[in-house]
Amino acid sequence: MGRGRLCAALGVALLAAVLAGSAGGARVSKAGTLTQSGANQQYVPGQVVVGFRTNADPLTRRLVVADQDAKTLDSIPQLGAQVVRVDGSVQDAIAAFEANPAVAYAEPNWIYRTDAVPNDPRYSQDYGLPKIQAPQAWDVTTGSAAVTVAIVDTGVASDHLDLAPNMVAGANYVTGGPNTSLDYNGHGTHVAGTIGARGNNGIGVAGVNWNVHLLPLRALNGAGSGTNEDIAAAFASTCTTHPAQIVNASLGGTSPSTTMANAIAGCPNVLFVVAAGNDGLNNDVTPHFPCNYGAPPYNLPNVLCVAATDQNDALASFSNYGASVDLAAPGVDITSTWPAYDTLYSTGFEDPFTGWANSPGSGTFARSATHATGLYSATDSPAGNYLPGTNTLYYKTAAAANLSGRVGCRASYNLRLDTQQGGDFFDVFGASDGVNFHGSGWSGSSGGNFLSLSSDFSQFDGAASFYVGLGFQSNGDGTVGDGGYLDDLAVKCLKPSAEDYNTISGTSMATPHVAGVAALVKSAHPTYTVAQLVSAIIGGVDPLAALSGKVSSGGRLNACKAVGGCGGTGPPLKPPGCVVPNVIGSKLGTAGAKIKARHCRVGKVAYLKSTKKRKGKVILESPKPGKHLKRNAKVSLWLGRGH
């Protein structure tokens, strides 16, 4: 008989806390609410709307457009306006147009959108996305299929109806072979939904990205544990066999691994977004990995470590913190996608245990009025305390379910527990023959509350007969507590091509908010490096007093600022290359404006007297020869006769 613990699992474990229960384009519809956001409003690249004065005749208008090397795309005759295409900076072109006396105004061809709030019915249940200003970020971008986020986790239910459009084929590092698209735990599917559940599709929830490639790399088993080997192999594959720009790793442990650190360091162009941990500890004192690979002595620049905040922007009570943690994001009571299950057997223990039996010579299970739902639960402590040095097995004598052809089977239940931590265990068992029971259990205290928990029974997948049992194992040291109360037991197996949702908490839930925003930034700025992604995210946080001294940035994630909206600037972009325009026939002022519009710097300007062969010449000198104007210190521009 296997045994586990309430507070942790062996190996490198996932970081979920307690389960709490199961773009638009340029055109808009007339029914939408239109909003303009000033400097942050998006416009059609390379397009300017030019409004001419009423006394400007058609020939003058054509000359004005031609003088800027622009091309008329469309016109609004009744308004005296034209939409033109320009090369170079839209803002510089606007300045040049408005300098012409024939132009009344010039402006970008602004894009207006209906408010970017998706029609997904469960969107209103998630405070996290509005908290990080995701709707405002969606006015900039809703994501791109050109961006891939690898999810190193328990797998992802790739056939989930709210995820399937964004899924790509992944890999299974736990067992190898098939089932790369299955999740025997739920954790990875929940993470995937936060990053990229399909938005505005009328189904379930919306992810931070409505469009993105989600790449499942299964490195944790159905119990939520994985090895350094499997996790490091998954990490390393993201810059080789399974390329991705961003990795979400909602997992961790307190033991450093050189293999894992080398895997991250070996993919310098991949951003690893990782969880801070759920122990409520200072990671600077008690390091947590892979979070601390971004801190001394490792100092890997492609690691972002994430703490969790609640609905009130307070640091979650369970969240780790420290200077080694970069920022925080919503991680308490987050609703997201979950694998769908068929329930093959269930009981609320309302009847007097018909069809159940105690194993001979064991302790006794009985009904108790301490319950999660209904009136009763099953307990190992009918007298109020369990017995020391006594093992108990209580099992259903007839098969509970036929698992033929089924995969991903598990038991779910509500458990209230008060035991000696690490010494006494409450177990949930399964068997294919009704005799040899195997499973896992819990040890510790649930604080007087029923917790929604589950046990992985995928080892019994395909069994024609499946028996379920409850057990209690105690040592003989005499230290006992109130024991366990288990209610609402159900045996479930994965249901293909369906959908379900769950609300859970943890730094695991905060991490995909940041990974999702990193993908948004990458979709808005495809050329950004890892350093620029980090700069955009950290530079755009909302500073919070509750996070001062708790995370190095002192702030909580803001998606809109990170993508460059809502006042966020992000890292500076390299200026586009300078291509000197044709300014033959232009006056000096007009020539200078046109050159600036091509992102060429205009320095000293001199007008030379005419010669016998040429009526005039302008020499434009770059203030820093060799840096601009295609490495030419001087560029000569010929002016036509009469200027």
Q: What is the mean pLDDT of each run of 10 residues along the chain (643 residues)?
A: 32 37 27 29 78 93 93 86 90 92 86 54 88 93 96 94 96 79 91 96 94 95 86 93 97 89 94 96 95 95 97 96 97 95 95 86 85 94 84 92 95 92 89 91 90 91 96 86 93 94 94 98 96 96 96 97 78 42 59 57 40 39 33 31 23
d(CA 497, CA 182): 11
> Does residue 528 contact residue 521 with C-beta atoms inside 8 Å?
yes
- CB-neighbour burial class of residue 498 (10 A; exposed 0-12, middle 13-18, buried 19+): middle
Give, to the nearest 10 degrees, the angle between helix 588-597 and helix 90-98: 160
Quick one: tokens of 499?
């959908």
In a domain, residue 33? The reply is: no
**Are 295 and 357 found together in one domain?**
no
The CATH number given to whatever domain includes residue 313 is 3.40.50.200
> Does residue 106 contact residue 189 with C-beta atoms inside 8 Å?
no
| End residue of a domain, out of 89, 110, 131 | 110
d(CA 38, CA 121): 30
**Are 298 and 322 found together in one domain?**
yes
Quote the radius of gyration of the chain (alpha carbons, Å).
Answer: 32
d(CA 213, CA 247): 12
Can you give the length of the chain in residues?
643
In a domain, residue 571? The reply is: no
Give the model's pLDDT for residue 579.
Answer: 46
* CA dihedral sign of residues 284, 287, 288, 291: positive
> Residue 591 — φ and ψ, nearest 5°?
-60, -45
Strand-pair category, 143-153 with 246-249: parallel
> Does residue 292 contact residue 298 with C-beta atoms inside 8 Å?
yes
**Are 360 and 308 found together in one domain?**
no
| End residue of a domain, out of 110, 137, 162 | 110
In a domain, residue 550? The reply is: yes
> Does residue 181 contact residue 477 with C-beta atoms inside 8 Å?
no
Check residue 186 and report its DSSP letter.
S
> Residue 307 — φ and ψ, nearest 5°?
-95, 175
**Are 236 and 372 found together in one domain?**
no
Give the model's pLDDT for residue 111.
Answer: 52
In a domain, residue 325? The reply is: yes
**Are 454 and 530 found together in one domain?**
no
**Are 175 and 49 found together in one domain?**
no
Other beta carbons within 10 Å of 447: 9
In a domain, residue 118? The reply is: no
Nearest to 192 by CA among 173, 174, 205: 205
pTM exceeds cut of 0.95: no
Q: Please, which residues have CB within 8 angstroms of residue 613's CB and are 6 or more apart in sequence?
A: none
d(CA 313, CA 615): 69
Secondary structure element (H or E) that encloses residue 104, with its range: strand 103-110
Give the model's pLDDT for residue 36.
Answer: 29
In a domain, residue 15? The reply is: no
> Residue 607 — φ and ψ, nearest 5°?
-105, 120
> Does residue 641 contact residue 623 with C-beta atoms inside 8 Å?
no
| End residue of a domain, out of 472, 494, 516 | 494
In a domain, residue 24? The reply is: no
**Are 476 and 407 found together in one domain?**
yes
**Are 355 and 220 found together in one domain?**
no
Range of the domain at 386: 342-494
Q: Give the distance from CA 464 to its chain's centroid.
A: 40
**Are 369 and 471 found together in one domain?**
yes
Q: Which residues pair with 52 in a beta bridge?
A: 103
**Are 186 and 306 found together in one domain?**
yes
**Are 410 and 262 found together in one domain?**
no
Q: Please, which residues have CB within 8 angstroms of residue 385's CB and are 6 or more apart in sequence?
A: 480, 481, 482, 483
Give the model's pLDDT for residue 2.
Answer: 39
The CATH number given to whatever domain includes residue 48 is 3.30.70.80
* C-alpha count within 13 angstroms, C-beta hemisphere, residue 353: 20
**Are 151 and 228 found together in one domain?**
yes
Give the model's pLDDT for residue 373.
Answer: 95
Give the model's pLDDT for residue 582.
Answer: 56
In a domain, residue 595? The reply is: yes
